[in-house]
Amino acid sequence: MARNNRKIVPESREMLKQMQYEIATEFGLYGPISGAGADTEFASELGMLGGVSAASRTPYLGHLTSRDNGSVGGEITKRLVKQAEQALFS
């Protein structure tokens, strides 16, 4: 099945990324992860562990599970619906 990741409003991409990282931080999902058994001296510079990827300048969140990512996505949806309702009714 094809995934449609195209945004209706392309300018919203950065705002959605920012919201994703804010929510992940609120949930305690973003931050240092254990690097047991890994050579971590240069790991964040190489984008292997938590930190900022040099290529994209965005935090690396590859250690998150599908459940964690789903909870972040669900919270984004809740907040966007709440914002839309407030805009509609005010």
Domain edges within the chain: 9-29+64-90, 33-62
DSSP readout, 13-42? HHHHHHHHHHHHHHTT-SS----TTS--SS
Question: Higher model confidence: residue 78 or residue 31?
Answer: 78
Q: Would the CA dihedral through 72, 76, 81, 87 be positive or negative? A: positive
The pLDDT of residue 37 is 45
Q: CB neighbours (10 Å) of residue 74?
A: 11
The pTM for the full model equals 0.62
Measured in degrees and rounded to the nearest 5, phi and psi for residue 64 equal: -80, 145
79 pLDDT band, cuts 50/70/90, is very high
Question: Higher model confidence: residue 87 or residue 62?
Answer: 87
Amino acid of residue 20: Q
The DSSP call for residue 78 is: H
As a whole number, mean pLDDT of residues 48-72 equals 70
Question: Higher model confidence: residue 72 or residue 9?
Answer: 72
